[in-house]
Amino acid sequence: MWPQPQLTHDPAEWLGDAHPLVEQLGSADGLASLHALADSWRARPVSSLPALGEFLRCYHKRMLLPHELPAIQKAFAHASHNEVRELITFDQQLATEPMLQDLAAASRRVGQAQLQKLRPLRDERGVQRYLAAVESGEAHGWHTLVYGLTLAVYSLPLRQGLLGYAHQTTRGFIHAAARSLHFTEADCRAVFDELCAPLPATVEAIVGKLGTVSKV
């Protein structure tokens, strides 16, 4: 008998520091990866507190807001309406998104690992069908889609989930850089507060623009 997975009230805690970029920073050459990504975004190498702030603003502008949060919202909507075929189609479409190519392998690895945690939910046909599609190679199991699916399966509020994801990943970046660059806790808090202050309004705009479902 598979144990039933447990989820806290904050879905982002289930994600942990498993964002693909944050995960890469945990490796020995993680800071080099951060520098490479900063260079591709034409930001300064992450070697100081101001440079970290610049990098994270680029991340929010280029990745989090235009790609990750909308993908979570769309996966949530499809899962909430039992639209597994549409979810799989969207999964396939993400494989052609140029901005996501550098993260593709890590996103699949993280997403598939989290998806396995939902395997015990035998009565959730959408979960089982998506899991089967990933295992057969028909779908990739991107981490954002698995996160959106998880919100829907546990009937968690979309706004809370989007905001929690944004907070958790931003915090993960800051702490990963702080370990290498020896920032103080006050430094980390100041960067987090500055970056995350606009997020509640931004999340509202994303939800309003893309449309909501009854579970929001």
Q: Please tell me the predicted confidence (pLDDT) of residue 193.
A: 94
Q: According to the model, what pLDDT value does residue 194 have?
A: 94
Instruction: Output the pLDDT for position 131.
Output: 97
Q: How far is CA 187 from CA 44, 55, 92, 178, in A?
A: 18, 15, 40, 9
| pLDDT score recorded for residue 70 | 93
The pLDDT value given to residue 38: 59
Q: Three-state DSSP class for 48?
A: coil
pLDDT of 140: 97
Confirm if 113 and 67 have CB atoms less than 8 A apart. no
Q: Which residues of the chain carry a pLDDT beneath 70?
A: 1-45, 209-216
Domains located in the chain, CATH noted: 18-210 (1.10.4190.10)
Residue 215's CB is within 10 A of a number of other CB atoms, namely 15
Looking at residue 179, its pLDDT comes to: 77
